[in-house]
Structure 1
Amino acid sequence: MATPPEYLQHLLEDAMGKRTKQWAVPDCGLSSALRFSVQLEDSSRVFVKAATDEYTEQWLRNEYLVLSSIGGKCMPSVIDWLDKPGVPPILITEDLSDAYWPASHQGVTWREGDVAMLFEGLNALALLKAVPALPALQNRKNSLWSEIAGDPAAFLDLGLCSERWLNKAAEALIKAEKDLDITGDQLVHGDIRSDNVCFAGTGAVFVDWSHAARGNADHDLALLLPALCLEGGPAPYHLMPEGGSEAASGSAVLIQRIISDHLMPQWLKNVFRKLITIELEWAADCLGLEYPDGKHP
């Protein structure tokens, strides 16, 4: 049982008109906002998310904008929004503790049929038009692959490919990255991954809309596929055979992060190396390149 800040307990009980019995922190999720599944005195439950700084406040306002303006069965329903002067905003939504969550601190387990429902949910999201007030996705102005190829030592030190492979592939990767267009008017979640989805009834419900935006809905699928493959799902090429630009861009982002973040823990570096390999093989399939010839993580 978790102990909430006193102010949060008072505000929630006042908003709900009920006392609280139990507060629990969800088993997964990376948000630095306060997050609790709360059981009320009548045994009903709500989910509470409260901002902790200016960044989480901005993200929470973004999330509330989506949930309150668009809604639908693929999102949790809003119960209340507390936005009082001098107090960080608080979002109260339906509690999904009884849904099936594939991700936990013990790992990720997709049941038979889950991945199909996940893609059905993504297809439904792709049909939704974004709220104009959401931030718009912008295409990258600089080429990360140009930077990597121009100073390749740190990337080559990862052992994922040889210098020969990089020299042969660099031009195609740079062009593909530059051709990527993520702009548009569709609703983009911006952070689809296994710990941000659950299954309630016969459908997927996506949570944590902090990074929602207006853009190209393919962006969500492209962000999801490499991690899903790592978790036992299909290879990205089988679902996005024209995704060379997405793969080139995604691999470059991960490479820049792993070589620039000197405090990244080793376990996360290992995950990144596997994801980069998946992205590069996806790019190779789409762009007609050789597979990277380095050590497979």
Structure 2
Amino acid sequence: MVWDGVGGNRLAWAELPETVRKSIEVALGSAVVDAVSQPGGFSPGFAARLRLADGRRLFAKAICAAQSVDAVAFHRREVCVAGRLPATVAAPRLLWHGGGDDWAALVFEEVDGHNPRLPWRLEDWARVHDALVRLARDLTPSPVDLPPLAADPDLFSGWRSLAADPALAAWLDPWTRDNVDRLAALEADWPEAAAGDTLVHGDLRADNILLAGERVLFVDWPHAGVGAPWIDLLGMLPSVVMQGGPDPAEVWRTSPLARGADPAAVDSLLAAVAGFLLHGSLLPDPPGLPTLRRFQRMQAEPALAWLRLRLR
């Protein structure tokens, strides 16, 4: 089965508090007459295409702290990124944000498009890959003053956490369990490996991509930071394989984004990503996100297989 990344737990428009709905309608200057929920992603919040009484069509998302404090923080951080992206960047424009103390709400221009079809089709992947190359070019140097991805050196610490927790490490396969210390050492170098001056999306996968006619747009930017231009491709490839796409080693061998990347830096960051996914997949479900751990596990397997191939 190809996992589509649908969490299946979105709020409907009618389930939002009246104060939130009214604040959106007042800000937009027109009543919402229809809201079509968009199921992709894992947030338990609201995400829908809106049709207004004046005929305009927009996209809105909202979440409250009672559902997920982390998700509220992510929504608010996305304001800091999306609101400052140059108009030339392949991303929807942020039109409004608000929500008060307990809620975070954002409204974007609507994109008449769809996520890539799954399993991945080669023509769709070729389009997305070409767009990734352009995105890295357009965002180098970063047009937004954001911290480097490595500003939080503990962002990737999965292998080190597993090395320190024998009970959790016991769930690993024999090769992985025998190499935990080696993988932890590789992971520890990820801040230096990720260094660069490109604005990186930080969370690319099929449900954060829209194909709209000839355009490819990238949505959901709360995890953005500054780093090496090849990071988004590397971080995305495990999900591409999981969803029926091409072999990551072959993509990496032929991609302009990988050209010139230090192999040791690639190994370090790939180890960091694989450890993050695998360690996360062994933890309890976070509140409101019942499918996240399974999704992480299904990406961890191809990430680790690719890493093992590189470490031979």
TM-score tier by shorter-chain length is 0.7 to 0.9
Summarize the Cα distance change of 1:257–1:186 in structure 2 as closer, same or farther, 3 Å threshold: same
**SS in structure 2 opposite 1:221?**
helix
Query: In the alignment, does 2:28 pair up with 1:16?
Result: yes
The alpha-carbon deviation at position 22 of structure 1 amounts to 0.7
| Candidates 79, 82, 104, aligned match of 1:64 | 79
> Bigger CA drift: 66-75 or 114-123?
66-75
Consecutive unaligned residues of structure 1, counting only runs of 5 or more, are 289-297
Give the Cα–Cα distance (whole angstroms) in 1 for the partners of residues 99 and 164 of structure 2.
Answer: 51
Q: Paired residue for 2:311?
A: 287
- In 2, distance between residues paired with 1:174 and 1:45? 48
Tell me which of the two structures has the higher relative contact order, counting C-alpha pairs closer than 8 angstroms and 6 or more residues apart: 2
| Mapped partners of 2:290, 2:79: distance in 1 | 35
Aligned position for 1:31: 43
Q: Does 1:120 align with 2:130?
A: yes
Matches within 5 A, 1:119-158: 119-127=129-137, 128=139, 129-130=141-142, 133-138=145-150, 140=153, 144-149=158-163, 152=166, 154-158=168-172
Is 2:74 the partner of 1:74?
no
Contact kept, 8 Å, 2:79 with 2:97, in 1: the verdict is no
Other-structure match for 1:294: none
Question: Per-residue deviation at 1:204?
Answer: 1.6
Could you tell me whether the CA contact under 8 Å between 1:179 and 1:245 is conserved in 2?
Answer: yes
Secondary structure, aligned partner of 2:33: strand
Give the deviation of 1:261 after TM superposition: 2.6
Whichever of the two has the greater Rg, that structure is: 1
Aligned to 2:233: 221
Equivalent residues in 2 for 1:65-214 (5 A)?
65-71=80-86, 72-78=88-94, 80-83=95-98, 88-96=103-111, 98-102=112-116, 108-127=118-137, 128=139, 129-130=141-142, 133-138=145-150, 140=153, 144-149=158-163, 152=166, 154-158=168-172, 160-162=173-175, 166-167=177-178, 169-170=179-180, 172-180=182-190, 181-214=193-226
After TM superposition, give the deviation of residue 171 of structure 1 in Å.
Answer: 5.6
CA deviation vs aligned residue, 1:234-278 (integer Å, no higher than 9, x gap):
222223353322222122222322333377999766554443332
For the residue of structure 1 that corresponds to 2:174, the secondary structure is coil
**What's the TM-score, normalizing by structure 1?**
0.78
What letter is aligned with 2:125?
Answer: V
Identity across matched positions, percent: 28
Which amino acid in structure 1 is aligned with residue 305 of structure 2?
E
Are the aligned partners of 1:172 and 1:287 in contact in 2 as well (CA < 8 Å)? Answer: no
Gaps of 5+ in 2: 1-11, 254-262
CA contact (8 A) 1:39 1:46 kept: yes
Q: Distance in 2 between matches of 1:171 and 1:18?
A: 58
Q: Calculate the aligned-residue CA RMSD, in Å.
A: 3.2
Is the CA contact (8 Å cut-off) linking 1:236 and 1:282 kept in structure 2?
yes
What TM-score do you get using the length of structure 2 for normalisation?
0.75
Are 2:292 and 1:258 equivalent residues in the alignment?
A: no
- Contact persistence 2:119–2:245 (CA under 8 A): no
Please report how far the alpha carbon of residue 88 of structure 1 lies from its aligned counterpart in structure 2 after TM superposition.
4.0
